[in-house]
Amino acid sequence: MITYGHFIGGKHVAGTSGRFADVFQPMDGSIRGKVALASKAELDAAVENAKAAQPAWAAVNPQRRARILQKFLDLIARDVDKLADILAREHGKTIPDAKGDIQRGVEVVEVCLGAPHMLKGEYTDAAGPGIDIYSMRQPLGVAAGITPFNFPAMIPLWKLAPAIACGNAFILKPSERDPGVPMMLAELALEAGLPAGILNVVNGDKESVDAILDNHDIQAVGFVGSTPIAEYIYSRGCANGKRVQCFGGAKNHMIIMPDADMDQAVDALIGAGYGAAGERCMAISVAVPVGEKTANELVKRLIPRVESLKVGPSTDGTADFGPLVTKAHLEKVKGYVDLGVTEGAKLVVDGRGFKMQGYENGFYMGGCLFDNVTADMRIYKEEIFGPVLSVVRTKEYAEALKLVNDHEYGNGTAIFTRDGDAARDFASKVNVGMVGVNVPIPVPLAYYTFGGWKRSAFGDLNQHGPDAFRFYTKTKTVTSRWPSGIKDGASFVIPTMN
């Protein structure tokens, strides 16, 4: 039985609140361990530690900070199999998918090696008589990240790497459902040479989240999770004067045009809709075929593919996807399928009764496929976050585009077509932050930024890429003039270039 405490000041620290949560192993339903849930006092102590360590770290030049991140990458590569095993056991992903989770995080750390370039300011010589103007990017101080269960490696790395590269200290509050990987990442960062106190992991629940939002020494907070919590964190954090970026829920549509390569479209829907058991904010959960013939052909091809999906334990590298993260979440997803049937959608593939032989207590569910879903149904409006794909039939392209634009979420979307005009029109007019053209999961590469629109995101700056360096720094602009014999006398007029 594993007991997770916290990682503060470069050391493992036992929890003192007396509160713990169970950490499950989804593939067999067993309790793998327990994790301490921090009190406000514990969170505040971690912040004090980070605050004390941060000035010396900020004084380290960006190139040397980048060298430590390079060593950190080397250690992740060395221990990737161990990290993937922990991730799979606590989350439920298959080992190959767990390694993909880690790799997507690694790619952001790789971009952060360019911190010396990304942190450069601007300089104007002779902006006025004997006057030079230059700007500097400086760290905020202490920043925090509140990260979700579904990517326990990727999203913590997306948050902590740019914050640390910019010279900040960082408080990570990972999901209490799968804390093992974030704890190990903190150990590896210390081994790489990161000073004690610069990366702290505080495990917890709402009490520690509120403590982060209310602590006046934390200057910035990043969050990924559901929209209601994103909205709560954004509102409370901003009210307390913090810089806040929050990424919430999604309902990602994929439009299939009549001219699309149907084999390619079906492959894309199967992988993007059911990979990681649908527990991805960028999963395609709504297929939108244009035209009755397109819809009939799509559903005809999807049914046998969904029925033949291989569900297996996380350690089975040949499985298409593994179990869901907890029994409670499994029951929630099944409840949505029940609701869809009640609402009148046609359940053409029903995976609710799936049982994994030898793992009967695991949190498994087979793939589900709905046809004839309409925009007034809750299963269309709400994020299910499970292996459930809905088909919404449309008569023409304009109707499909309107369907996407009218939805309250705007995280990701895709169109499958051979028509360049249609693809270009869609990319231009769709009211969504990330768009794929014949690409089902349009997560940008790490040197671009990741972020949705509408109620999928709150805040002005996105994750990773250039926006991450903007989010974790503040700009200082200096206007200087050295004595040169010029005698201007006192002026009571605002300076201008006249």
Based on the domain organization, do 107 and 56 belong to the same domain? yes
Residue whose pair of structure tokens reads 């594993």 in the numeric block: 2
- Residue 240, classified by CB atoms within 10 Å of its CB into exposed (0-12), middle (13-18) or buried (19+), is middle
Same domain assignment for residues 428 and 470? no
Tell me whether residue 62 is in a domain.
Answer: yes
Q: Is residue 442 part of a domain?
A: no
Say if residue 110 is exposed, middle or buried (CB neighbours under 10 Å; 0-12, 13-18, 19+).
middle
Task: For residue 225, give the nearest of 280, 291, 290, 284 by alpha carbon.
Answer: 280
Q: Indicate whether 420 and 464 sit together in one domain.
A: no
Q: Are residues 166 and 278 in the same domain?
A: no
Residues 283 and 244 in one domain: no
Residue 493 lies in a domain: no
Number of domains in the chain: 2
Predicted TM-score (pTM) of this structure: 0.95
Range of the domain at 348: 252-437
If asked whether residues 322 and 274 sit together in one domain, one would say yes
Q: For the beta carbon of residue 40, count every other beta carbon within 10 angstroms.
A: 16
Q: Are 137 and 280 found together in one domain?
A: no
The CATH number covering residue 314 comes to 3.40.309.10
327 phi and psi, to 5 degrees? -65, -40
Give 203's contacts (C-beta < 8 A, 6+ positions apart): 4, 5, 6, 15, 35, 36, 37, 38, 173, 174, 176, 179
Report yes or no on 444 lying in a domain: no
Q: Is 238 considered catalytic here?
A: no
445-479, pLDDT tens digit by residue? 999 999 999 999 999 999 999 999 999 999 999 99
Q: Is there a domain that residue 321 lies in? A: yes
Shared domain check, 345 and 274: yes
Q: Which CATH number goes with the domain that contains 38?
A: 3.40.605.10
CB 109 within 8 A of CB 74: no
Same domain, yes or no: 239 and 264:
no
In a domain, residue 498? The reply is no
Catalytic residue among 112, 166, 246, 281: 281
Neighbour tally for 115: CB within 10 Å = 23
Alpha-carbon distance of 495 to 498, in angstroms, equals 9
> Would you say 363 and 92 are in contact if contact means Cβ atoms under 8 Å apart?
yes
- Kindly state whether residue 105 falls inside one of the protein's structural domains: yes
Q: Are residues 162 and 274 in the same domain?
A: no
In a domain, 393, yes or no: yes
Is 225 in the same domain as 354? no
Amino acid at 114: G
pLDDT tens per residue across all 498 residues of the chain: 899 999 999 999 999 999 999 999 999 999 999 999 999 999 999 999 999 999 999 999 999 999 999 999 999 999 999 999 999 999 999 999 999 999 999 999 999 999 999 999 999 999 888 899 999 999 999 999 999 999 999 999 999 999 999 999 999 999 999 999 999 999 999 999 999 999 999 999 999 999 999 999 999 999 999 999 999 999 999 999 999 999 999 999 999 999 999 999 999 999 999 999 999 999 999 999 999 999 999 999 999 999 999 999 999 999 999 999 999 999 999 999 999 999 999 999 999 999 999 999 999 999 999 999 999 999 999 999 999 999 999 999 999 999 999 999 999 999 999 999 999 999 999 999 999 999 999 999 999 999 999 999 999 999 999 999 999 999 999 999 987 766 667 777 887 766
Question: Do 200 and 310 belong to one domain?
Answer: no
